[in-house]
Structures are given as C-alpha cells and as structure tokens.
Amino acid sequence: MSNPAKTPFYEEHLALKAKMVEFGGWEMPIMYRDGIVREHLNTRRGVGLFDVSHMGRFIIRGKDGLAFLQHVLTNNAAALDIHTVGAQYTLIPSETGGAVDDAYLYRFQQDEFLLVVNAANRKKDWQHFLQFMKDFHALEILDHTAEMAMLSLQGPNSRKILNNVMSHGQLPEPRRNAVSTVSISGTKVLLARTGYTGEPICFELFMESAHGPEIW
C-alpha cells in the first residue's frame, strides 16, 4: 500500500525510535531500540504495552444483533455475559465451511457487541457481513476502527499498573475473557482479560481514539 494508515499512537512510536513498517495497510512498529529479545523478556518478567489499533473494530447492535451474530459466527454469542465471561474467540465461516477470518467478540454492555477482526481482512469481512444484513431488519453495524483505539497490556505487572491508574471501576477478575468498564484519567475504557501473548495476566483496552495517547 502506497499510503498506509496511522494509528493514534504513531507519534508515540516515533518518539521511542521504533522501526516502522507497513503491516496490513498500517504503519506499525516492528521493533524498538533495545531489540525484540529485550521486549520479549520485559513482557514475560514485567509488562509489555502493545499498539493493536490496526485491527478492525465493528460495533453490532439492535434488536436483531444477537441473532445476526449467531448466524455469521461459529461460537455461541448468547453465552457472553458482561458479569462473568464477556469475550470469546470465534471464526467467521464461509458458506462452504471454510474460514473468512478469525475474530474476537466482546460484550461490554447488554445490547451491544464489539467484534475485533484482522487488519488485512477488515474490508473483506465487512463486505461478507453486508450480504446477510437484509435478513435482519433491526440491526446496525458500524465500523469504528478509526473512532476506537486499542491497546494490549500484557505480563505479570499489568494488573498492578492498571490498579494504579484507574480512577473508577473494577478490573475484570479473575478469569480469562472477563470484561469490565473503567475510567482512566477521566476517560471511559473498555477492559478485557484477553490477549495473544499467552500471559495469564493480560488485558486489552478500548477507548476513543482522541484519548488514546493520554492512556498510553
């Protein structure tokens, strides 16, 4: 792509002397000055902060929202509960049984879902969903990739850090895939016990893009 997009944290990466590359249509950091091994060890022994705002974020809401998700995803969206397990890994299947993409589905409030998809597949996934919308009349799907920033805080010290900066709300504890809504520096942050590093103590944060750098 000749003109890749930039996440809300682009300037933060440049200030930290990150090596930037094009990934999935976005300018993303591939490594920082101390090197990948140091980054890996910092995450395993302490904490790592990752910009994952390049991933696609779709909001699904309306009376038919749940029925739509039950039709277009493989996992049971009805099992999500904002008070217990509010997130799940899922697949977007094709009509022939293949996979259009894999994704993560979140339910931070009862009447609305957030679906996170892979950056390179965002437009393809969007078009795939549109073909089914005619069968669900009370349904709204919004692409909030630009409006919503996403960070991942992973590692054994992540819980301590969040506890120190939160001004309101509770951490989603203690099980993986639990969710909650908190306030950090006066900003509403959707918080989930999810992430791809394999760390048992891990969080992903969603907030308005305009407030992203402050949260960072």
pLDDT at position 65 = 98
pTM: 0.96
Predicted pLDDT at 173: 83
Cα dist. 16→1, 5, 6, 45, 149 in Å?
Answer: 24, 19, 16, 21, 19
pLDDT value at position 174? Answer: 86
Domains of the chain in start order, with CATH, are 5-55+146-215 (3.30.1360.120), 56-143 (3.30.70.1400)
> pLDDT tens per residue, the chain (216 residues)?
469 999 999 999 999 999 999 999 999 999 999 999 999 999 999 999 999 999 999 999 999 999 999 999 999 999 999 999 999 999 999 999 999 999 999 999 999 999 999 999 999 999 999 999 999 999 999 999 999 999 999 999 999 999 999 999 999 988 999 999 999 999 999 999 999 999 999 999 999 999 999 999
CA dihedral 31, 19, 202, 82 (to 10 degrees): -150
For position 123, what pLDDT does the model report?
96
Long-range interactions of 165-174: CB distance < 8 A, separation 24+: 171/203, 172/86, 172/203
Q: What is the pLDDT of residue 54?
A: 98
